[in-house]
Amino acid sequence: MRSGVIAQKVGMTRIFTDGGEHVPVTVLKLANCQVVAHRAKDKNGYVALQLGAGMRKVKNVPRAERGHFAVAKVEPKRKMAEFRVDEKALIPVGAEITADHFVVGQFVDVTGTSIGKGFAGGMKRWNFGGLRATHGVSISHRSIGGTGGRQDPGKTFKNKKMPGHLGVERVTTLNLKVVQTDAERGLILVEGAVPGAKGGWITVRDAVKKSLPKDAPQPGKFRMAADEAGAAAPEADAEATEKNAAAKPSAGEEQPTPDSTAQAAPSEASAAVPTETPAASETPAKPAPEGA
């Protein structure tokens, strides 16, 4: 059993097949979905992964939760969820699950919170047929009718389908087909409608009533933040090594010492500036005055 993901519902669109047919799809976006903690069997009694998604301001996070995220070395998350997995399907803490965790063509189960519709009548909430629209009914066409059972039992049982609050419930839609994935942008396109409003949080997991494709990654598709830093560090070290090697002289060259450099500087300066004055013979003589 693999882990699921926490995604955010973007909206609905459609894509066209090679045959020209359009497929209505719901776009789900992975908002930095990371593993926050593990649930061990010896400590918690079950094996699971705790995932977090979304961004949250640090000032709005309680101190206890700040420490929980600090241990995992992840930023505070807005949405948290747990997924039961096998012991072999554990993903390291801090890893970010990517969109190609699911393969094209596989079926998934999607869970979300349905859109709230406020107080609704029996016809809208439970699809009742209502009363007659013609003879014998006056201003009660959409009522649900009688709910009791005469003197016996003499009451209305609990959980009777009646008017009340509609929506804002946990709804799971089974067997939605994955049509396309985009790992770079973190998008998952599933065929059909997904419960919840735009911007709502959705959990996506492998379908329980369908077999998992053989090409599905095990234990999942993810990336570590340390891998990117580790890949960049050797390149920077190599560049620094090349620069240092170019700056260092070869073994056969002699390095001038500070004393020799100081002594060589005046000699060069003296060579550049002439110290000898023109000789007296070279100076033109003045002519003698007449009558001397």
Mind listing the pLDDT tens digit for each residue in 150-183? 888 888 888 999 999 999 999 999 999 999 999 9
Residue 112 pLDDT level (bands cut at 50, 70, 90): very high
User: Using CA atoms, how far apart are residues 92 and 69, in angstroms rounded to an integer?
Assistant: 14
Confidence at residue 152, expressed as pLDDT on a 0 to 100 scale: 86
Yes or no: say if 167 and 114 are a contact pair by the CB < 8 Å rule: yes
**Residue 54 pLDDT more than 60?**
yes
**Residue 224 pLDDT more than 80?**
yes
Q: Closest Cα to residue 38, out of 27, 47, 29, 25?
A: 47
Confidence at residue 208, expressed as pLDDT on a 0 to 100 scale: 95
**Residue 264 pLDDT more than 60?**
no
List, for residues 63-98, the tens digit of each pLDDT value. Answer: 999 999 999 999 999 999 999 999 889 999 999 999
**Residue 255 pLDDT more than 80?**
no
**Residue bearing the bigger pLDDT, 65 or 252:** 65
Confidence at residue 147, expressed as pLDDT on a 0 to 100 scale: 84
Confidence at residue 79, expressed as pLDDT on a 0 to 100 scale: 94
**Residue bearing the bigger pLDDT, 216 or 266:** 216
List, for residues 171-180, the tens digit of each pLDDT value. Answer: 999 999 999 9
